[in-house]
Structure 1
Amino acid sequence: MTTYDHVEENGMNERAALLDFPGAHELAAAGRVEPLSERALTRVLAEVEAAVAAEGTAGRAGLTAGAVVATPIRRLSGRRRALVGLFATAAVAAGATTYANSGTAPTNTRSEARAETASVFLNDISTVAAGRPAASGKYWKMHLTIGDAYLSQSMDFYVVHNGKAYKKGRRPDWQFGPENLDWKGLDQLTTDPAELLRLLRTPPRPKSISPFDQATSLLGGSPASPKLRAGVFKAMAGLKGVKLVGTVKDSTGRSGTALEFAEARSVGRVIVDPKTSSILEYTFTWTAGAGKGKVTHQTFLSVGFTDKIG
């Protein structure tokens, strides 16, 4: 006999009793629910608190982020059972659902749910990006695992090796939709998410990289302002095919949230620090053709403005 085989007095086994509340079917269908983010938890608890107040019940009825699991649902009153149902339904709506890696291709329904969850994450991280402090400097420094690189406002590119700086010519501009942007062009780019999404959706030119790669390159390797980075994250939420992988570690062991975008011959993966909106690592994997199985990645240990090289 399993944990859920015990039969209650009302004829239900324990599993049925645990799922006997409004919203249970939606919660079960969504998959395993992870602990909510602080922002999502605040939003959900506000809804629950409002429902409690409407019923004339003081406080939060003892509900916490773990209440759905920790509280024996079969022992709740009808009123509290309804509140737990509200919590469960709100948890699913807040985008807190994650999916275990089963090793099999997802169904269309699950694939759509994953896309919605990626959209929720990207919209949330855009808020984090917008709240970062603005800064400026003569150079944009990228501290990478392979060394330090510097970019001047005139797009001159430098690398530092054994304490000595070497000029490596001019760096190619950032591709974004139909535009090739230098430092000045980056400052003049719109920050409106809808317009940025329109640019990313522009039919590709010859040798264009994917919209996902364009956005990731700008977010990780450019001196984009907090407002522009926020707009790009929000624009990415509108791209079709972006999947939320979940919490992973980069090649240096740092934890972040991974997103993926698959094309016909490749898969791009970006790992984002959810606390700062910083890009930790970008990985590109060939899935077909002569380079099948080849993986390249760029790891950003830190990025930021500076007034000198070295």
Structure 2
Amino acid sequence: MTNRTDDHSLLDFPGAAELIAAGGVAPPSAGAVDGAWDAVARAAREEERATPTPPTQLMSHRIRRPRRLLVAAAAVAAIATGAVAYPVLDMGAEPAATASASEFFKGMAEVAEDAPAAAPVYWKVRVETDNQDDGRRTDTNYFDREGRVWSVDADGTVHEPPAGEEGKVKKWPVGKKWLTWPDLEKLPTDEKALAALFPKDAHSRFDQVTIMLEDSPASPDLRAALFRILADTPGMKLVGDVRDSKGRAGVAVEITQKSWVRMGEGTGDDLTLHTQDRYIIAPDTGLLLETTHKTLGRATPADRYTWLEVGPAERVE
């Protein structure tokens, strides 16, 4: 059964009253409508994932803005369609995981377990990002066990982490907490005990687990437990053999999230939107190669994150 919530307090932002009172306007162009709904869909997707965090922490690229601002952005986007609207996430029953997807993740758990353990001085992450907000860029970062972050420019220039409170700290979300590298080593590696620490709803759990699999220095046993959690997470589908944007061979798994936009009274049926997250995994190593996030049925390109290098390092260079 679907649980739908009409929480008008979410529209508590500057200009909301004027927006609600504006009423109908002339029909917009098709391009304006598509652009508006793409913005709404992005806000709906990111709203589910958004968690307020201290500004001095370096968090995942996929957790961005507070809930209130995202809802405001969605409502403002609705101006282009001549109606008041805001996104509502589908929190109803999730479809069961396909057997093929579940078996694939179980296989990846075995691959992860067989990986050699490492005790590096630094952890290196090099990722190419391509989205509408930032365009295409490549970021190279190193962090140590204390979470201090070094960044390296394309020309090799190394930027040392600032001292004191100005420095950024690398952390990963687990439930409502943000964990450092040493915190990860304290997590249970029994999948049932570990799963209890993550959100109960499938999409949030899937999102947090994959964030950790993307770029964390999780041990082989911890990565295996994370894959086993995914094997029991509903809503995922095995796509099969694909190649990422760099031509690397991998296996793709997708999870689709349904949301809808509640229109103002007298405007007809609600608009249903589907957003799709795809994860490409190297089957021989269990490493994530690429993640994409898109709105189905819209021309807007997917947000893409291509993991070029993730692993131990003995020095920053």
Q: Considering the TM-score relative to the shorter chain, is it more than 0.5? A: yes
SS state of the match for residue 208, structure 2?
Answer: helix
1:282 is matched with which residue? 291
1:40 is matched with which residue? none
CA 1:296–1:185 in 2, change beyond 3 Å: closer, same or farther? same
The within-5 A match list for 1:177-192 is 177-192=175-190
In the alignment, residue 163 of structure 1 is paired with which amino acid? G
Higher helix proportion, which one?
A: 1
Shift in Å, 1:198: 2.4
TM-score, normalised relative to structure 1: 0.57
Taking the aligned partners of 1:212 and 1:142, their CA distance within structure 2 comes to 21
Taking the aligned partners of 1:200 and 1:116, their CA distance within structure 2 comes to 22
In the alignment, residue 289 of structure 2 is paired with which amino acid? L
1:160 counterpart (139, 152, 158): 152
1:252 matched to 2:246? The reply is yes
CA 1:188–1:114 in 2, change beyond 3 Å: closer, same or farther? closer
Asked whether the equivalents of residues 135 and 305 of structure 1 are also in contact (C-alpha less than 8 Å), the reply is yes
Shift in Å, 1:285: 1.7
Shift in Å, 1:243: 1.0
* Post-superposition CA distance 1:204-259 (Å, at most 9, x none): 9xxxx722121111011100000000000011111110111111110100010011
Shift in Å, 1:144: 2.7
SS state of the match for residue 262, structure 1?
Answer: strand
Taking the aligned partners of 1:134 and 1:190, their CA distance within structure 2 comes to 16
Taking the aligned partners of 1:199 and 1:237, their CA distance within structure 2 comes to 16
In the alignment, residue 158 of structure 2 is paired with which amino acid? A
1:143 is matched with which residue? 126
* Post-superposition CA distance 1:100-125 (Å, at most 9, x none): xxxxxxxxxxx979711100000011
1:215 is matched with which residue? 209
1:227 counterpart (207, 221, 231): 221
In the alignment, residue 148 of structure 1 is paired with which amino acid? T
2:200 counterpart (197, 202, 212): 202
The within-5 A match list for 1:58-207 is 115-145=98-128, 146-161=138-153, 162-167=155-160, 169-202=167-200
SS state of the match for residue 196, structure 2?
Answer: helix
In the alignment, residue 275 of structure 1 is paired with which amino acid? D
1:92 is matched with which residue? none
Shift in Å, 1:294: 4.7
Name the count of aligned residue pairs. Answer: 194
Provide the aligned C-alpha RMSD in A.
2.5
1:302 matched to 2:309? The reply is yes
Taking the aligned partners of 1:241 and 1:215, their CA distance within structure 2 comes to 14
SS state of the match for residue 188, structure 1?
Answer: coil
Taking the aligned partners of 1:286 and 1:153, their CA distance within structure 2 comes to 37
SS state of the match for residue 142, structure 2?
Answer: strand
Identity of aligned residues (%): 34
Ranges in structure 1 where 5+ consecutive residues have no aligned partner: 1-110
SS state of the match for residue 155, structure 1?
Answer: coil
Of structures 1 and 2, the larger Rg is shown by 1
The within-5 A match list for 1:9-88 is none
Higher strand proportion, which one?
A: 2
